[in-house]
Amino acid sequence: MSNRFIASTLFVTLALLAACSNYDFTLNDRVIYTPDPLFTDYDVPDKGLRECIKEAINYNKVSYASELSALSCSEAGIETLAGLSTFTELEQLTLSSNNIVDIGELASMSVLQTVYLDNNRIIDPVPLYELPALQRVDLDSNPQLICPASGSLLRVAHLTLPSHCR
């Protein structure tokens, strides 16, 4: 066998093994690589939100809360966002078509850039006012929303409000 054949076979084998990121790799009965475990250190009481976060962690192979930068949980039956602030590096959050009333949990998410909260039951948008990175907000179809005061979401380049606020 030529060295080229052995090298290419070894390369293909290693590439296939690398795709199995949830497995320990051993050589001569010695572990040479162990992947980081998936992140589980969070407490989210809402079942819909908890399941959505779990799926995102598994799909993105998240080992630390700070590694989750986007979360899409539309039509998940979510009622409360309690515990979501564990994920401090969320930049994009989609929570369309749920049953969310209180968004206070979002107030500490300083890197949040995009948030879709349309088709919920949100009343108070104030937790969004001080988010420095916020660029896009969708609050459409929240019939009880207290309309934001003029200039309160000044940093937001794309703002969608319910018809009663336009």
43 confidence band (pLDDT: 50, 70, 90) = very high
Write down the pTM of the prediction.
0.79
User: What are the domain boundaries of the chain?
Assistant: 3-33, 47-165
User: Would you state the torsion angle of the CA atoms of residues 8, 9, 14, 19, taken in this order, to the nearest 10 degrees?
Assistant: 100
What are the pLDDT digits (tens) for 1-10? 566 655 555 5
The beta-strand segments (E) located in 100-142 are: 114-116, 136-138
Q: Fold for domain 47-165?
A: 3.80.10
In the three-class reduction of DSSP (H, G, I as helix; E, B as strand; rest coil), residue 164 is classed as helix
Length reported for the chain? 166
Identify the pLDDT of residue 96: 98
CA gap 142, 117 in Å, rounded? 8
- The whole-angstrom distance between residue 125's C-alpha and the CA centroid of its chain comes to 20
User: Would you state the torsion angle of the CA atoms of residues 151, 156, 160, 166, taken in this order, to the nearest 10 degrees?
Assistant: 20
CA gap 109, 130 in Å, rounded? 10
